Structure 1
Amino acid sequence: MKKHIFFLLLVLAVFIVSAQPLFNREKVLEQIELANNYFMTKWPEVGKTIITNKERPSNIWTRAVYYEGLMALYKIHPKDIYYQYAYDWAEFHQWGFRGGNTNRNADDYCAAQAYIDLYKLDPDPKKLKNTRACIQKFLYTPQKDDWSWIDAIQMGMPIFAKLGMLENDERYFDKMYEMYMFTRNNHGDNGLFNEKDGLWWRDGDFDPPYKEPNGEDCYWSRGNGWVMMALARVLDIIPKDEKHRKQYMEDFKKMAEALVPVQRKDGFWNVSLHDPENYGGKELSGTAMFVYGMTFGVNNGILNRDKYEPVIKKAWEAMIKESLHENGFLGYVQSTGKEPKDGQPLFYDKIPDFEDYGLGAFLLAGTEIYKMN
């Protein structure tokens, strides 16, 4: 009898432990709000130009990625102040883009991702006038080589997915696929995706014969993070039966698989994924993007929970412990660039040239963590 009671208590204990959520949702929300409030306090004027080595408008890609994260935060925690901050930014820029509507540079029309999200909350044709004019031209022009660097996949791809759904127009899906596959298979010498390693070269300057100091291929962490983030966002948007979905799923899974063995022991990923000695060390932006992608994959049944939950948990806890300051500032964010050496060295108190895109990635990661059961 005692043995039976002991066994039942043991089963009950295992059940209780297994039923515990992986993360404290209230704590996660508190952490991402802390980081966001730091930024909103530091940048109360949404239209203020960004001055680094030169002056830039506040609707460039770095800030647009932040607003992607803010809109994700608003979706799980709809505070009026978040909506107003995003709306005022869009209004200031007249819902438009640096370089105007004829511009084909994905960095400059990235802001459309937030514009579309704001439009869906309160439809008004003025909000999408520029977005439609800018993106529709791709449907009527033969070029498909615009995304010659992998960052552009994230800046542009989700916009085509969002417009395809909004307009119920498959041409956006088809053009998005053509442009994605050209980057994947044609840019550089033989495309920028190495199917063997499951990772991407940043652009044609880094595919073979270019090598890292240790002789490995150069796979930049944040560059691969951009692609993983884009694929997750697109898979979240397009229909389940969209004819190109299988390709995106396969690439997404290959990337996730490739990232597991190169995660650092402390939970972060190095800026150089296959050469830990080439400016090795903690880096938040790429890590946050990988966490976002993997957590999205687990939450939506694309990635195996048992395999990826420990990877996600280790990475999220590392970012909270090692990067998030008491005032909400995020340390170990690599400044803008295109390879491991840019913006180095990194450390806890270092302010990157732009504080916005790293935060955007952190907010996207945190909102997916918040949804995790």
Structure 2
Amino acid sequence: MKKLLTASLAFALLFGGISSCTAQKKSTAKKISELPNKKEVLEVAQRANQYFMNKWPDAGKEVVGKKVWPSNLWTRAVYYEGLMALYKINPKKEYYDYALDWSQKHNWDMMRGTYTRNADNQACGQTYLDLYEIDGRKNPERIKFVKLSMDSMIASGKSDDWWWIDALQMGMPIFTKLGRITGDKKYFDKNYEMYAFTKYKHGGNGLYNAKDKLWWRDKSFVPPYKEPNGEDCYWSRGNGWVVAALARTLEDTPRSDAHYQEYLQDYKDLLSALLPIQREDGFWNVSLHDPTNFGGKEMTGTALFVYGMAYGINKGLIDKKAYLPVLTKAWNAIVKDSVQPNGFLGWVQGTGKEPKDGQPLSVSKEPDFEDYGLGCLLLAASEVYQLK
């Protein structure tokens, strides 16, 4: 009888333990795949943003690193894109005031001056345009220099300025916003002309690989360049910039535009290429086709992919059943592993152009510029918040 009881107890412990373990795994899986509620998403965005605003109380303060940068450089411009997206779902006056102060301190002008052709220098114009619209288009001085800068691009007849894919996110939304605001078709036409040059001509035959549905960062990475495992080099954040550029372009481009469907197809194709290469933990690797080349968690590319997928679901552009579990897993991974209790963001790759830049990453490492990483997070949060 004693032996029977002992055996029964062992059986119960064994299978009870297995059952408990299974239940725990199911619970963990549920947490990973469970869509967070709006309150939780907003809290994460507010916490991360407050950390940054506390650290940078003066919106016009120069950024000091290897050199001194004015604060309307591209990294800060991406942050303000995210802040404007946060403002749309959570219209706090302090967010508006912070963006307004930043814009005014730069006289609503581009970095390096009105007639710069570099998209990084023009990226700040996206927020100027947003603030112009928020105030009911009553302050034309807010878009004066943005318009002059874009008009000079059109007048030049050149279309080869976007030679790196990051530039698509910095420049395309300015053209399409101006097109929507002014009703002038020339901005939509120029946007496509420059996009097409990047897609089909830069690097010889363009920076887009239709076979893999992904983008090379610039001509330096076009084959025969290969990653250590023999695959093409597709940089996560670079492709994230393209996702964001296309989402923001689709937002403002009329469906009747001759090139709307091409933008839409490129957007859908790029997102579809991301599905089979998501990491088990929810992130994407910095090298999308070579997990051995500085493999590990990386927040910025992942957040931009979340932004693009959530936007597509909210607008009815992509299949919710296919993409919701993927973006939810990624968002929850960011919240769990990247966003710290005080709002600091870990696992952020520093500025650069390829997997090796800013490495190694960690949960506590501060990148050379921390602002654009927050911008990526806020863009993602703004769309995740709107999911139903």
What interval of TM-score do these two structures reach, taking the shorter chain for normalisation? over 0.9
- Give me the whole-angstrom Cα distance separating, in 2, the residues matched to 1:81 and 1:142: 41
Counterpart mapping for 1:1-373 below 5 A: 22-122=35-135, 123-373=138-388
Unaligned runs of 5+ in 2: 1-29
**Higher alpha-carbon Rg:** 2
Amino acid at match of 2:60: G
Q: CA deviation at 1:129?
A: 1.3
Q: CA deviation at 1:298?
A: 1.0
**1:5 aligned partner:** none
Q: CA deviation at 1:239?
A: 1.6
- Aligned-residue Cα RMSD (Å) equals 1.0
Q: CA deviation at 1:125?
A: 1.5
- Give me the whole-angstrom Cα distance separating, in 1, the residues matched to 2:204 and 2:132: 40
Q: CA deviation at 1:23?
A: 2.5
**Tell me, what secondary structure is at the counterpart of 2:296?**
coil
Q: CA deviation at 1:22?
A: 3.0
CA shift digits 1:108-147 (9 cap, x unpaired): 0100000000011123111111111111112212100000
**Tell me, what secondary structure is at the counterpart of 1:83?**
helix
- Give me the whole-angstrom Cα distance separating, in 2, the residues matched to 1:132 and 1:64: 17
- Give me the whole-angstrom Cα distance separating, in 1, the residues matched to 2:244 and 2:299: 14
- Give me the whole-angstrom Cα distance separating, in 1, the residues matched to 2:231 and 2:122: 34
Amino acid at match of 2:289: H
Amino acid at match of 2:280: K
CA shift digits 1:239-273 (9 cap, x unpaired): 22222100000000110010011110000000000
Count residues in correspondence. Answer: 354
Amino acid at match of 1:364: L
TM-score by length of 1: 0.94
Amino acid at match of 2:304: M
**Tell me, what secondary structure is at the counterpart of 1:371?**
coil
CA shift digits 1:288-335 (9 cap, x unpaired): 000000111111111100000110110000000000000001000000
- Give me the whole-angstrom Cα distance separating, in 1, the residues matched to 2:281 and 2:365: 19
Unaligned runs of 5+ in 1: 1-16
- Give me the whole-angstrom Cα distance separating, in 1, the residues matched to 2:89 and 2:337: 25
TM-score by length of 2: 0.90
- Give me the whole-angstrom Cα distance separating, in 2, the residues matched to 1:239 and 1:102: 27
Q: CA deviation at 1:189?
A: 2.1
Dislocated runs of 4+, deviation >6 Å: none
- Give me the whole-angstrom Cα distance separating, in 2, the residues matched to 1:132 and 1:359: 27
CA shift digits 1:63-107 (9 cap, x unpaired): 000000000000111000000000000000000122111110000
Q: Percentage identity across aligned positions?
A: 58
Q: Which moved more, 1:201-210 or 1:126-135?
A: 126-135
Amino acid at match of 2:281: D
- Give me the whole-angstrom Cα distance separating, in 1, the residues matched to 2:159 and 2:176: 16
- Give me the whole-angstrom Cα distance separating, in 1, the residues matched to 2:36 and 2:258: 35
**1:12 aligned partner:** none
- Give me the whole-angstrom Cα distance separating, in 2, the residues matched to 1:88 and 1:23: 33
